[in-house]
Each structure stands twice: as structure tokens, then as C-alpha cells.
Chain A
Amino acid sequence: DVKVTQSSRYLVKRTGEKVFLECVQDMDHENMFWYRQDPGLGLRLIYFSYDVKMKEKGDIPEGYSVSREKKERFSLILESASTNQTSMYLCASSLFSGEKLFFGSGTQLSVL
């Protein structure tokens, strides 16, 4: 089974801090994604990557950046965390571009 592992289940940070969310997948998938989940808004795509060192903006990239130095690892970076970035963050990977995504269990980030 594909396993997508997110480094933290819960994270509490202060406004202005730099935050790193890490994600690792073990199935050699080309594509990796970062989504944000908020009640009533579903899952919104922040960034995705289809290859090492490649990245594409999703629907809500403002305030975020990403890094993909190795195929199995995709990091989401909040350069200066703000309270409106309090949310559940979900990482996913897939073999084919926009299909059959495998999700991690999520990181609930609280920015105080």
C-alpha cells in the first residue's frame, strides 16, 4: 500500500514564525500535492510538483512556498505564519498527474 507520511499531526506556532511541513511518500510517485482543508470550503490546492525541483502554483499559493529536492519528499513552507493560515494541511501523491491521489493523515496547524 502507498504510504504518505506527514511529519506532525498537530503543530502550534506563533504569528511571524517560519513553519515547515514535511511530507514523504514511499511509492516512487512523480506527483505530489499540498492541500489546505477548511470546513465548508473542501480541499484547496496550494502547490503541486510533478518532478524533483519542479513546482506549480495551485489555487491559493499566496503566503506559501514549497521545496522538492528529492522525489519522495515535498515540503510546504510558511515564510511568516499568520492566524489566517490556521488550518488542516493535507499532502498527497499520485502516479498520474491529477488522478488517484493518496493522502497523508494531515497536519492540524494552529497559528496563535
Chain B
Amino acid sequence: GENVEQHPSTLSVQEGDSAVIKCTYSDSASNYFPWYKQELGKGPQLIIDIRSNVGEKKDQRIAVTLNKTAKHFSLHITETQPEDSAVYFCAATNNAGNMLTFGGGTRLMVKP
């Protein structure tokens, strides 16, 4: 089955700096790669996603890049703010497209 590795497990940045979280996946048939943000006491919430026919996608301060050849994708957050502090999860679909496999999560801390 699909295996998703996520790094780093914790990330601390100064407010205003950029943050990058990286994930690798194992199944070359995977074609959908979402990112979820989980705030304290809440369930994860989808923040951005990308499909395998696209190399990059942006939404205001967040962007995701995908390298299909290398089987890795990354989340980029620019101009970080304290409210960006949360746990972020990457995920990839299985080859049937009906299941998501999640990475281990990254705890992002943005220091004011």
C-alpha cells in the first residue's frame, strides 16, 4: 500500500519567516495530494490540494509543489503569522483513489 513520510516533525519559525514542510510518497499511481491543518482541539481541515497533472498551486500565503518523478511534494507558507501555528498533515491517495494515507504530521510553531 501507499506509504507517506513527512518531515520535519516539528518546525519553529519567527513570525514573518517562511516555513516549508516536505512529504514523500511510495505509490507512483497516486494522483491527489491534499494538505490538512489541525488546530488544538479541532479536527483537521483541508487547506490546499494538488493533483498529479499540476506542478504547483498557490492560495494567498500558502503554496504546494509536486515533483512526480521524485515522488515528493511540499507545503510552503510565506509571511508566517502566529495563527499559522498548528499541526499540518500531508496525504496521498491510494491507486484506487478511494483512500487517503496521511503523513506523520508536522507541528509548526510561529514565534511572535
Residues of A within 8 A of B (CB): 4, 31, 35, 40-45, 48, 50, 56, 58-59, 90, 92, 97-106
Within 8 A of A (CB), among B81-111: 89, 91, 93-94, 97-105
Set B1, B89, B97: member contacting A43, Cβ < 8 A: B89
Are B102 and A105 within 8 A (Cβ)? no
Identity of the chain B residue whose Cβ is nearest the Cβ of A97 in the assembled complex: B98
**Chain A residues with Cβ under 8 A from B41's Cβ?**
105
Of B11-19, B42-50, B69-77, which stretch is located at the interface?
B42-50
B91 to chain A, nearest CB (A): 8
**Chain B residues with Cβ under 8 A from A106's Cβ?**
42-43
Q: Which of A42, A97, A99, A104 has the most CB of B within 10 A?
A: A42
Are A103 and B101 within 8 A (Cβ)? no
Are B98 and A43 within 8 A (Cβ)? no
Are B43 and A4 within 8 A (Cβ)? yes
Identity of the chain B residue whose Cβ is nearest the Cβ of A59 in the assembled complex: B1
Are A98 and B93 within 8 A (Cβ)? yes
Residues of B within 8 A of A (CB): 1, 4, 6, 9, 32, 34, 36, 41-46, 49, 89, 91, 93-94, 97-105
Q: A45-B99, A58-B99, A100-B49 are known contacts; what are 16 more A-B pairs with Cβ within 8 Å?
A: A4-B43, A35-B102, A48-B98, A56-B98, A59-B101, A92-B43, A97-B98, A99-B32, A101-B34, A101-B36, A101-B44, A103-B45, A104-B43, A105-B41, A105-B42, A106-B43
Are A42 and B105 within 8 A (Cβ)? yes
Set B4, B9, B97: member contacting A98, Cβ < 8 A: B97
In the assembled complex, 16 residue pairs joining A and B whose CB atoms fall closer than 8 Å, in A order, are A40-B9, A40-B104, A40-B105, A43-B89, A43-B102, A44-B102, A45-B99, A58-B99, A59-B1, A59-B101, A90-B44, A98-B99, A99-B34, A101-B36, A105-B42, A106-B42
Set A40, A41, A98, A105: member contacting B43, Cβ < 8 A: A105
Are A103 and B102 within 8 A (Cβ)? no
A105 to B41, CA, bound (A): 7
**Chain A residues with Cβ under 8 A from B97's Cβ?**
97-98
Identity of the chain A residue whose Cβ is nearest the Cβ of B2 in the assembled complex: A59
